Amino acid sequence: MAETTAPLTTADGRPLKAALAKAQSRAKRRAFLLVLPLLLFILLTFAIPIGQMLQRSVYHDGFSKTSPNLAAWFDANPQGTAPDEAAYAALAADLVLMKENRLAGEAGTRINYSVPGTRSLFTASARNADDLTPPFKEALLAADRKWGEPLIWVAMREAASPWTTDFYLTGLDMQRSADGGVEKVAETNRVYLWLYVKTFLLSAVITGICLLLAFPVAHMLATLPMAKANLLMILVLLPFWTSLLVRTTSWIVLLQGQGVVNSVLVSLGIIDESGRLAMIYNQTGTIIVMVHILLPFMVLPLYSVMRVIPPSYARAARSLGATSWTTFRRIYLPQTLPGIGAGVLLVFILAVGYYITPALVGGADGQLFSNQIQFHMTKSNWSQAAALAAMLLAGVLVLYWLYDRLIGIDKLKLG
Amino acid sequence: MKKLLVLSTALGGFALPAMAQEITVMGWGGAYTHSQTEAYLKPFAAQSGIKVNSVDADNPATPIKAQVDAGNVTIDVASVEIADAVRLCDEGLIIPIDAAALPAGADGTAATDDFIAGTLTECMIPTDIFSTVVAYDASKFPEGAGPTTIADFFDLEKFPGKRGVKKGAKATLEMALMADGVPAADVYALLETPEGQDRAFAKLDTIKKDAVFWEAGAQPPQLLADGEVTMTMGWNGRIYNAAVAENKPFKIIWDGQVFEWEGYVIPKGAPNEAAALDFVKFATSSEPLAKAAEYISYGPPRKSSAPLVGNVFGTDVPMSPNLPTSPENMTNALGSDLDFWVDRDTELGERYNAWLVSN
């Protein structure tokens, strides 16, 4: 047998290898061009905004951009130096700058985040900044005694650089103390840490209830004949297509003190008029309504996985002598795991970030962490909102990582 | 240079007719936007030929910051609360409006003297004075034995039943202190101190168990109508509107009212600034302000408007007794201190949130 030593060529005489590589790279380019619009879209509408938001959580130039003189003084004098005449002169010069550029409010707002009650100090002092004469220390202290407070100087030192950890400190229920260290805030003002833990706990409870409710439903949908299953599927999807607000307010109608459920219970004599159940405007309300709203997100992935599990496996197990419980536990359940994983992850992540439902039906104790984010958004404190959002994101990423380690993200099946 | 001039003229020529035709006004929705539409938007559009679009937001101050920061301003005029206006003005997000350039009052008083003292600020022209009050369902109490003072709101023994409480520190803390016997004049001095804040929260503690917290202004009348609460804090205009338009037996307790004012601002970079300014001048002149008060029970901020306020729209009942600014309603009233809240909003808001979620 004669062996061919000459390289393979295409019909037009080019080496096959080169032709193939060229064709492949063309295909790759084309594929890349096809996904390019989506890539740009995601970059523009997702990656960049989120990046900007995260940057805001550690960056706030409201004070620093209008305090060059103070920044220079802080650079020259280490933490703990008592403010001297030079420091007050720098402050006076910066106040004049603030007045010129109409930035006193913004600068004051930044300091006010750290030391409440100082915003008006800046706006009032800047208004009269042109009248300040040396010695500046006496002049400023005469204008307002607050300028002598160490806390304000600690806050100004921190804010003189636009990069700051102040917003994360607040998110951890901490603040800077007068000596520049870090301390816990007063007990009455601690809200974030506990709420953070509570948000994850409540989300876990909601996810658990969703799973318990959705599993049998999805199983039934998967085993019924197609025609009936489709009809039932519409019942699952119908609430999915209804506006979130409509669903939330209908729950209010059902669950409130004078609502349908309570009235029926009273008229049946199960509870009396004074014993009407508090099922809404509290934590119970948040759980009930959120379970209802998030249920389809659990049913759908479960259904899509159960649909393709061959019934013959379970039959084989039964024929080999397994009890129905053993069959479920060892044959059926493991095969549904990808669906369970997807549903749990989906519902949990959605629940962690929910805010409109807890805001409407949560009352006092049914609030979630995202309601605090919304609070700061409406107070225009975007940096604080960004820091809290980043904390939430970090929590979710940690759970995602755990999930990947324990179950494996490749086992996820969304449908 | 010449080319640029030609180009910009050409562009301007295209843009101007298209832009001068319409302005967008952002309001709060509900009965409040309705009053502004009837009293300001429609008459202005009829008079000037400029099309006026109306959009709503939960609090128009929030989109203003978002739009100006993003450099994509779509609203020309927005209705905001005074505290937000001062903050936005200080941050340079809204433009100064020269009050001296406003038209004189119907009685000839110069605009700067016509507005109630203290309501005019650099960037906002007031449109109305509203008030946070306590309202109750009269049918839930025996005839003539209903609550009459702010202290009654916190008295669960004498007046049992659930209470609707605003989910926010502003006005809530002031009311708590007034109910605790603090005279209106001393409220803010006390609220500056930690002891005063503790005292306010301690007072709120007494009704926390029976409180239903509301977030949006539309909720209090709904809570009263559903029988969810027997008494609630609320905005006087919303309560009044439910009482009149829907014929509900709601009564307002004017004792301990905390009044504020709101008005029109123009965001920096508004697409049609000139037309927006014309609109603000028109809307805040005596007659339109008086007319708005016939649709919603918010008091007109111009003194010259008071005698022009007629009957409740479409009826022969005089509107005056329902306005926060009427003398008989002002016996124990507190004007919200904007400097205080600009400084303390975040701090007390956080403490209020902490109080909400604690047990």
Q: Do A105 and B89 touch (CB under 8 A)?
A: yes
Amino acid found at B328: E
Question: For position A406, what pLDDT does the model report?
Answer: 81
Q: How confident is the model at residue B18 (pLDDT cuts 50, 70, 90)?
A: very low
Answer yes or no: do B208 and A364 touch at CB < 8 A.
yes
> Residue B345: its chain A contacts at CB < 8 A?
379
Nearest to B353 among A117, A119, A372 (CB): A372
Q: For residue range A203-260, what is the model confidence (pLDDT) as tens digits?
A: 999 999 999 999 999 999 999 998 998 999 898 888 888 888 899 889 999 998 888 9
Q: What are phi and psi of B86, to 5 degrees?
A: -65, -45
Q: Name the pLDDT band for A392 (thresholds 50, 70, 90).
A: very high
B111, pLDDT greater than 80: yes
User: Which ranges constitute the DSSP H helices of chain B?
Assistant: 2-20, 30-36, 42-48, 61-70, 82-90, 111-114, 150-153, 172-179, 187-191, 194-208, 219-225, 236-245, 273-283, 286-292, 338-357
Q: Which residues in chain A are contacts of B353 at CB distance < 8 A?
A: 191, 367, 372, 375
Stretch A5-34: mean pLDDT, rounded?
Answer: 84
B42 and B111 belong to one structural domain: yes
A112 chain-B contacts, CB cut-off 8 A:
343, 346
Question: For residue A414, what pLDDT is reported?
Answer: 62
Residue B123 to residues A380, B129, B259, Cα–Cα distance (Å): 18, 17, 20
Q: How far is CA A358 from CA A276, A355, A371, B248, in A?
A: 22, 6, 8, 29
Contact residues for B335 (Cβ-Cβ < 8 A; gap 6+): B118, B258, B259, B260
Record the tokens describing residue B132, joined without a space: 């946070």
Residue A306 has pLDDT above 50, yes or no: yes
* Residues B91 and B240 placed together within one structural domain of the fold: no
Cα–Cα distance measured from residue A172 to residue A129, given in angstroms and rounded to the nearest whole number: 36
Which position has the higher pLDDT, A128 or B112? B112
Whichever domain contains B251, its CATH number is 3.40.190.10
Closest CA to A79 of A185, A146, A149, A178: A178
Instruction: Give the pLDDT of residue A404.
Output: 86
Spatial distance between the Cα atoms of B106 and A158, rounded to a whole number of angstroms: 53
d(CA B254, CA B131): 9
Percent of chain B with pLDDT over 90: 55
Q: For residue A365, which residues of chain B lie inside 8 Å, CB to CB?
A: 356-357, 359
Per-residue pLDDT at B14:
45
| B48 and B11 belong to one structural domain | yes
What lies within 8 Å, CB to CB, of B21 at 6+ separation is B50, B51
Number of domains in chain B: 2
Mutation target for B interface from A188, A195, A381: give the one with most B CBs within 10 A: A188
Widest CA span of chain B, in angstroms?
82
Nearest chain B CA: its distance from A128 CA (Å) = 15
- The β-bridge partners of A175 are A183
Examine the pLDDT at B3 and tell me if it is beyond 70. no
Angstroms from A54 CA to nearest CA on chain B: 16
Verify that B309 and B340 share a domain, yes or no. no
Range of the domain at B309: 2-129+261-325
Q: Is the pLDDT of residue A341 over 70?
A: yes
Give me the total of CB pairs closer than 8 Å, taking one residue from chain A and one from chain B: 94
Shared domain check, B145 and B266: no
Q: Do B343 and A116 touch (CB under 8 A)?
A: yes
Which residues on B lie below 8 Å from A364 (Cβ)?
A: 208, 211, 213, 356-357
Task: Give the model confidence (pLDDT) of A309-329 as tens digits.
Answer: 998 998 999 999 999 999 999
Domain shared by B140 and B206, yes or no: yes
Q: Determine whether B348 is exposed, middle or buried from the number of CB atoms within 10 Å of its CB (0-12, 13-18, 19+).
A: buried
Q: What is the mean pLDDT of residues B129-140?
A: 93
| Chain A interface includes B347 (CB < 8 A) | yes
Q: Is the per-residue pLDDT at A265 higher than 90?
A: yes
Is B343 close to A109, i.e. CB distance below 8 A?
Answer: no
Nearest CA in chain A to B62: A378
DSSP letter at B302 equals B
Whether residues A120 and B59 touch (CB distance < 8 A) is answered with no
Which residue segments constitute the domains of chain A, with CATH numbers given? Answer: 64-186 (no CATH), 192-411 (1.10.3720.10)
Percent of chain A surpassing pLDDT 90: 56
pLDDT tens sequence across A275-304: 888 888 889 999 999 999 999 999 999 999
Residue B248 neighbours by CB distance under 10 Å: 18
- List the single residue in B212, B226, B359 with the smallest CB-CB distance to A363: B212
pTM of the complete model beyond 0.90: no
- Give the best residue of B72, B340, B357 to mutate against chain A (max A CB count within 10 A): B357
Q: Is A27 left (phi over 0), alpha (psi -120 to 50) or beta?
A: alpha
Within 8 A of A104 by CB-CB distance, chain B residues are 90
Does the distance separating the beta carbons of A113 and B356 come in below 8 Å?
no
Tokens of B31: 């009965």
pLDDT on residue B12: 44
CB within 8 Å: B226 and A256 = yes
Mean pLDDT computed over A71-85: 90
Q: Quick one: B17 and B50 in the same domain?
A: yes
For chain B, the average pLDDT equals 88
Q: Does B359 touch chain A (CB under 8 A)?
A: yes
Indicate whether B14 and B124 sit together in one domain. Answer: yes
Is the pLDDT at B17 greater than 70? The verdict is: no
- Rounded CA-CA distance A58/A169 in Å is 11
Crossing angle (nearest 10°) for helices A382-406 and A333-352:
170
Q: Which residue of A has its CA nearest to B340?
A: A117
Residue-wise pLDDT tens digits, B295-352: 888 989 888 888 888 888 888 888 888 899 877 888 898 988 888 888 888 889 889 9
Q: Using pLDDT thresholds of 50, 70 and 90, give the confidence band for residue B44.
A: very high
B226 interfacial to chain A (CB closer than 8 Å): yes
pLDDT band at B48 (very low <50, low <70, confident <90, very high): very high
The answer to whether residues B253 and B156 belong to one domain is: yes
Chain B residue closest in CA terms to A111: B343
Instruction: Please indicate, yes or no, whether residues B185 and B124 belong to a single structural domain of this protein.
Output: no
**Mean pLDDT score of chain A:** 89
| pLDDT of A13 higher than 60 | yes
Binned at pLDDT 50, 70 and 90, residue B8 comes out as very low
Report residue B5's pLDDT band, with 50, 70 and 90 as the boundaries.
very low
* Residue of chain B whose Cα is closest to the Cα of A118: B343
Q: Stretch A11-37: mean pLDDT, rounded?
A: 88
Q: What is the pLDDT of residue A275?
A: 82
Q: Per the CB < 8 Å rule, is A105 touching B215?
A: no
Tokens for B329, please give them. Answer: 């309603």
Residue whose entry in the numeric block shows the structure tokens 């005694």: A145
Q: Are residues B162 and B295 in the same domain?
A: no
Contact A363 B213 (CB under 8 A): yes
The structure tokens 């306590």 sit at: B134
- Which residue is associated with the tokens 């020529």? B13
Contact B349 A379 (CB under 8 A): yes
3-state secondary structure chain A: CCCCCCCCECCCCCEHHHHHHHHHHHHHHHHHHHHHHHHHHHHHHHHHHHHHHHHHCCECCCCHHHCHHHHHHHHHCCCCCCCCHHHHHHHHHHHHHHHHHCCHHHHHHHHHHHCCCCHHHHHHHHHCHHHCCCCHHHHHHHHCHHHHCHHHHHHHHHHCCCECCHHHHHHCCEEECCCCCEEECCHHHCCHHHHHHHHHHHHHHHHHHHHHHHHHHHHHHHHCCHHHHHHHHHHHHHHHHCCHHHHHHHHHHHHCCCCHHHHHHHHCCCCCHHHCCCCCCCHHHHHHHHHHHHHHHHHHHHHHHHHCCCHHHHHHHHHCCCCHHHHHHHHHHHHHHHHHHHHHHHHHHHHHCCCHHHHHHCCCCCCCHHHHHHHHHHCCCHHHHHHHHHHHHHHHHHHHHHHHHHCCHHHCCCC
Put simply, the answer to whether B345 touches A379 (Cβ < 8 Å) is: yes
Residues B341 and B214 in one domain: yes
Asked whether the predicted pLDDT for residue B245 surpasses 90, the reply is no
Predicted local distance difference test score (pLDDT) of residue A413? 64
- Structure tokens given for B37: 């539409």
